[in-house]
Amino acid sequence: MTKQIPEGVSREKIWDIGTRLFHWALVICVVAAWGLGKFGPNIMTLHFYFGYAVIALLVFRILWGLVGPAPVRFVNFIYGPGKTLKYAATLKDRKPSYWPGHNPIGALSVFAILAILIAQVSTGLFADPDDYINVGPLADMVSSGTNRTATRLHNQMSTVILLLVLLHVAAILFYKRFKGENLVTPMITGWKLVRKDRS
């Protein structure tokens, strides 16, 4: 039996195939790189490969954020403080927002995750842990002091990435359990329930 769509809401194709493949590929690569970085093996070859994959995915997402479909273009989900605070005030309401794309809080999450991942892969390229094995490919282009700083930041930011991922998962569970809004299925199928009134 098909679930009835509420009044004032329509089912629309929001997430294109490129965005969906990017999302799930990024999940796999970040989790793999993080796990390999934390738990080994000691030779970080696979960690590097997954890191390179993350770089490629980030380049794609930045380009897609400029020229991709409307819902994924950065210009369409940069919200001011007023709109963000107004949306945040609705989080206490036990009902779906049916937001057409990234809502203002979700948009902040997107930008935070992209920023920290860009910083993480950048420091990884210049890191040199002094083991003469796991050296970033650009480490010889900077001073040893910069190598040490990059290595330290790379290690520290892995904790920030873990916290952002946990916060992201917690938000998905919050929307599902408290607000009755499924955010996972649309990122698989591309189809999302959105409100017709976009004002």
Q: How far is CA 13 from CA 17, 191, 193, in A?
A: 10, 4, 9
User: What are the sequence ranges of the domains in the chain?
Assistant: 19-92+101-189
- Tell whether the model's pLDDT for residue 2 goes beyond 60: no
Lowest pLDDT segment from 78-82, 122-126, 130-134, 178-182: 130-134
What is the homologous superfamily of the domain 19-92+101-189 according to CATH?
A: Transmembrane di-heme cytochromes, Chain C (1.20.950.20)
pLDDT (tens digit per residue) in 129-150: 877 788 999 999 999 999 999 9
Cis peptide before 129 (omega within 30 of 0): no
Yes or no: say if 194 and 10 are a contact pair by the CB < 8 Å rule. yes
Residue 169 dihedral angles phi and psi, to the nearest 5°? -65, -40
Q: What is the dihedral of CA 109, 114, 115, 118, to 10 degrees?
A: 160
Indicate the angle between helix axes 144-177 and 17-39, nearest 10 degrees: 120
Yes or no: say if 23 and 189 are a contact pair by the CB < 8 Å rule. no
